[in-house]
Amino acid sequence: MKRIFGFLLGLTLALLLTLFAGENPWNVFTILVRSAFGSMYDLGLTLSYTTPLIFCGLSVAIGFHAGLFNIGAEGQMTMAVVTAAAVGVLFPQVPFPLAPILAVLAALAAGGLWGWIAGWLRAERGSHEVIITIMMNFIAAGLAGWFALKIIPNPESQNPETALISPNYMFKDYDLIARLFPDTPANASLIFAIVIAVLMWIFLWKTAWGFKLRAVGANPEAAHRSGISEKKVQIAAMTLAGALAGFVALSEVVGSAGQYRIGFSPDYGFIGIAVALMASNNPLGIIVSAFLMGALHKGASDLDLETSTITRDFSRIIQALVILGVVAQGYWEWFKHKRRKG
Amino acid sequence: METMPWILALTLATLRLATPLIFASMGGLMSERSGVVNVALEGFMLMGAFAGAVVGYSYASAWAGWCAALIAGLAIGALYAFFVIELKADQIITGMAFNLLVMGLIPFITKILYSSTGSTPALLVEDRFTFEPLLLAIALVAAISFWMYRTRSGLWVLFAGEHPEALTASGVSVRKVRWAAVTLSGGFAAFGGASLSLFLASSYSPLMTGGRGFMALAALIFGKWKPVPALAACILFAFADAIQIRLQGVKIGGIEIPVQFVQILPYIVTIIALAGFIGKSRAPKALGHQ
């Protein structure tokens, strides 16, 4: 309940800010809602943001459950997406049902590797995972950019993107969601994301592995004394986090675009932080909060066109204030304290 | 290629590039030695870079921009202090939220001020700093290393980070010490940002810090949370950055190194520094504890 209040508080504050730009906050709010849900096209775009946000939210959440802050979902996702594109471009002969599976597995491995590096450095060398993952984000952007532009560039376009993957890799013909929302990148990966979220819920609360992971996050010392290796758990958690972020390759490359486009992500990895926090890191809640943040992001990107003074960057303000509204729950006690004093 | 001028140029470039890192890591030092984790340095720097560039341009004076950066930095530092000290919000998550907030607010303000979301208008070359921030940065390190270990108020900060209960017992409010330290942290980090926009460049461009706030934090950890070693670490990272700029487009054995490989060099050096030496580095005892 408090989280919902925190979300509403953050959103309200963000909308009030638009007063400074000479806009009517209520007007901005209606634009947000209309451009998120106004038509099947808008809804399709909202859902196409929801899918990667579920994956990135899960990635951040599994880190939190193990007591780690994974700000590296962005880089892990980038490595995965460029890897999937590379597989699809370099091995065009692989037949259909095998091809997408191969591409996604390669993507998961790349994302997992990127997470593993941060997890290993944290567990074995004690390096702060926040700084390491931020640095890894920059490195991923550099490597992926080089690979996309120098090794497999798109010969038919001047845009910074890779060549298109072979059609064998795409499941468009079987995709009912894509048919429901024509001309949008929405695709069946959404269903897959929901399944993964449910699986992660089962993993965390119904398996011994999940229990160990949460034990390390809740109290590393107690976990250590009861014989759980926190190093192993930290490395495993970051690797899983990387792989979860890597699933974005499914919705982005195999499911819709068919290529890696530099800058395709509006910082999904960072919005994932807000998604995870709003849901208290509960995988099932993440499905809902990813949808909400996806809607806000879609809504905010239309502010460029619909208002004269507010741009798509407004989405970041909303995200930041929502995170603050949710995480700074201390204001309850603070106000109570003030009232007692005064 | 003449070796001597090349070395001289590289040294000067290193010192220039070190300036923003030094300010930011001194900002980080203030906050973290008082016991408050600060991953918001990146946002504080952006704030300083932006405020400095806007005011510096309007008054055609780098010093005016410098003062504006300080005020903006102190303000956002105080706001961060309010969240983590008064509201007891998670320090790392709040810090990241502050970074996001600044990244969203700056284009929001530029759109209102200049009807664009890109760079701010540039200062004239003769209006911008030529060397002053570098000297100020080194003076700041010297001042902090004296103040922190030799004066009463400096020791308060150290005790707030190591033994807050002892500080409370001696009748000093840990809360107030942390408030002051975190607020100043914003001011120093903002100087770092302003040295980017008024010294290394002559305007603000979007996300111009490029992770320097986090590198400054890494330098602080690498420097074991001590002023002079942190300065040395900043110079090391700046050296990697200077090399990076020099290597762009250079051919080795007839093969040009891809620019992207060169650009990631400072980030790799940062990771190696954190991974290789952190074992010997010890954080302030009460760091991150409420």
Q: How far is Cα of residue A128 from the mean position of the Cα atoms in its chain?
A: 21
CB nearest to A331's CB, from B87, B100, B258:
B87
pLDDT at B279: 52
| Token code pair at residue B152 | 């009463």
Residue A136 has pLDDT above 70, yes or no: yes
Given an 8 Å threshold on Cβ–Cβ distance, is B214 in contact with A321? no
pLDDT at A304: 83
- The nearest alpha carbon in chain B to A122 belongs to B275
Q: What is the mean pLDDT of chain A?
A: 92
Q: Report pTM.
A: 0.92
Would you place residue B280 in the very low, low, confident or very high pLDDT band (cuts 50, 70, 90)?
low
Given an 8 Å threshold on Cβ–Cβ distance, is B101 in contact with A146? no
Which residues in B lie closer than 8 A to residue A318 (C-beta atoms)? 104
Which residues in A lie closer than 8 A to residue B93 (C-beta atoms)? 69, 273, 277, 323, 327
Is B191 within 8 Å of chain A by CB? no
Is A227 within 8 Å of chain B by CB? no
Given an 8 Å threshold on Cβ–Cβ distance, is B267 in contact with A135? yes
pLDDT at B35: 94
- The nearest alpha carbon in chain A to B260 belongs to A142
Write down the CATH number for the domain with range A35-332: 1.10.3470
The β-bridge partners of B73 are none
How far is the alpha carbon of B262 from chain A, nearest alpha carbon, in Å?
A: 9
Mean pLDDT of A216-240: 93
pLDDT tens per residue across span B104-144: 999 999 988 988 877 899 988 888 999 999 999 999 999 99
Is B112 within 8 Å of chain A by CB? yes
The answer to whether B220 and B25 have CB atoms below 8 angstroms apart is yes
Would you place residue B2 in the very low, low, confident or very high pLDDT band (cuts 50, 70, 90)?
low
- The nearest alpha carbon in chain A to B215 belongs to A131
Q: Give phi and psi for A162, each to the nearest 5.
A: -85, 170
Given an 8 Å threshold on Cβ–Cβ distance, is A131 in contact with B274? yes
CA distance A188 to A315: 26
pLDDT at B119: 87
Q: Is B254 helix (H, G, I), strand (E, B) or coil?
A: coil
Prediction ipTM score: 0.90
Which residues in B lie closer than 8 A to residue A69 (C-beta atoms)? 92-93, 96
pLDDT tens per residue across span A317-331: 999 999 999 888 777
DSSP for B36-70, written as a single string = -----HHHHHHHHHHHHHHHHHHTT-HHHHHHHHH
Given an 8 Å threshold on Cβ–Cβ distance, is A323 in contact with B93? yes
Domain boundaries, chain A: 35-332
CA distance A101 to A94: 10
